[in-house]
Amino acid sequence: MDFSLTDEQQRLVDTARKFTRERIIPVAQKLDEHGTFPSEICNDGWALGLMNVEIPTEYGGLGLSCTDHVLMMEEINYGCAGVGTTLAGNNLAAMPLILAGSEEQKKRYLGALTEAPIFAAYACSEPDAGSDVAGMRTNVRGQKRWITNGGYASWYTTFARIGDPKDRHKGITCFVLPRDTPGVSVGKKEDKLGQRASNTTDVLFEDVKLTRANLVGAEGEGFKIAMKTFDRSRPWIAAGATGIMRRALGQRDGGGHGRCPDLRRVRLHQGVPGGKTDAGREAPADLRGHLANPAHGDREEPARPGRLRAPFAGAALRHPGSHILRLTDPVGGSRAPV
Ligand SMILES: Cc1cc2nc3c(=O)[nH]c(=O)nc-3n(C[C@H](O)[C@H](O)[C@H](O)COP(=O)(O)OP(=O)(O)OC[C@H]3O[C@@H](n4cnc5c(N)ncnc54)[C@H](O)[C@@H]3O)c2cc1C
HSE, CB side, 13 Å, CA atoms: give it for residue 4.
Answer: 3
Whether residue 223 contacts residue 202, with contact meaning beta carbons closer than 8 Å, is answered with no
Query: Ligand 1: distance of its center to the CA of 236 in Å?
Result: 16
Residue 187: what residue type?
G
Among residues 222, 212, 141, which one has the least CA distance to residue 182? 141
Rounded Cα gap, residues 209 and 197, in angstroms = 33
When pLDDT is averaged across residues 263-289 and rounded to a whole number, the result is 44
Residue 159: its H or E element: strand 153-161
For the question of whether the overall pTM of this predicted structure is more than 0.75, the answer is yes
Q: Is 45 left (phi over 0), alpha (psi -120 to 50) or beta?
A: alpha
Ligand 1 pocket check for 89: Cβ under 6 Å: yes
Residue 42, SS3?
helix
CA of 128 to the centre of ligand 1 (A): 10
Q: Which residues contact 222 (CB under 8 A, 6 or more apart)?
A: 159, 160, 172, 173, 174, 216
**Rounded mean pLDDT of 149-176?**
94
Residues of the chain above pLDDT 90, percent: 70
Quickly state the pLDDT bin for 165 (edges 50, 70, 90).
confident
Alpha carbon of residue 11 to chain centroid: 22
Cα–Cα dist 325/212, whole Å: 51
Specify the DSSP class assigned to residue 126. B
CA distance 224 to 169: 8
Residue 153 bridge partners (DSSP): 119
Contact 53, 68 (CB under 8 A): yes
| 84 contacts 246 by C-beta, under 8 angstroms | no
Q: Residue of the nearest CA to atom 9 in ligand 1?
A: 147
Q: Is the predicted pLDDT of residue 141 greater than 70, yes or no?
A: yes
The number of the ligand 1 atom at minimal distance from the alpha carbon of 144 is: 11
CA dist list (Å): 259 to 21, 73, 175, 230, 275: 15, 23, 45, 35, 21
Would you say residue 270 has pLDDT above 50?
A: no
> Ligand 1 centre from 3 Cα, in Å?
31
* pLDDT recorded at residue 163: 84
